[in-house]
Amino acid sequence: MMNKIGEAPPAAPSAAITATALTVVRGDRTALRGLDFTVPRGRITGLLGPSGCGKTTLMRAIVGTQAKVTGTLDVLGRPAGDPALRSRIGYVTQAPSVYDDLTVRQNLDYFAAILLPGRAHHAERRAAVDRAIEDVDLTSHADALAGRLSGGQRSRVSLAVALLGTPELLVLDEPTVGLDPVLRRDLWDLFHRIAADRGTTLLVSSHVMDEAERCHRLLLLREGELLAEDTPEALRRRNDTATVEDAFLRLVDAAAARAARAQTRTATGTAAKEERR
């Protein structure tokens, strides 16, 4: 999903994303359980948690592609999935969304033509494509076939496509998976430049806890439940830990202990009812 090139955004709401009692049911499984959170504008919010905890489901709900969503979910001042949001959100999935038989530039030219069609906008499209290629540091590979690029390079092409229209909200689903430490560092530097220079809001998912320290704010998920919502510093301080990973593990242990106590109370109550019969 991409913002039209040159399109002026409407007035900004106080928060980029606001969720209340957000729940998603997939088959007989509840993937997200009553989430309440906000994502501030112009900042990088990390969505952290182990694989299978509901990160991708939450991102799909935010961009409007997830079915069976209940509760309230407002994105850029409108209900999630509103057609008016399609041009204001950039979404990068885990699997690179590029055409392997086209070059990097041809891929971007194609999507730029969809965003801003017509000969009158040729120069504007060309400038947007050049900027996006430079943003993701693929200038030297601009004429290479996407199918011949490394996995990390193909992921960067997908990111460049999402950046074409300078979106207000950029949703990135585990963008650094499989990348070497240098590429991971460079991508995070890019994310911070985009937020600082363009005022873009970024929601970045990861299961790598050391990336939490690179975010302005965090949402910590486990088994579809929100364990915490705060800054990295506040999470470390509140849990008296040296790292966000240690804070997350402490929160997981506390949640498990609460669940065990609740299960014990339920079992005790059931046993008492049986004895009275």
- pLDDT digit string (tens) for 133-169? 998 989 999 999 999 998 888 988 999 999 998 899 9
Confidence of residue 11 (pLDDT cuts 50, 70, 90): very low
pLDDT, tens only, 62-96: 999 999 999 999 999 999 999 999 889 999 998 88
pTM for the model stands at 0.85
pLDDT, tens only, 166-216: 899 999 999 988 788 888 888 899 999 999 999 999 999 998 888 999 999
CB 167 within 8 A of CB 130: no
Confidence of residue 8 (pLDDT cuts 50, 70, 90): very low
pLDDT at 267 over 70: no
Confidence at residue 95, expressed as pLDDT on a 0 to 100 scale: 82
Confidence at residue 272, expressed as pLDDT on a 0 to 100 scale: 63
CA of 266: how far to CAs of 49, 262, 277, in Å?
28, 6, 17
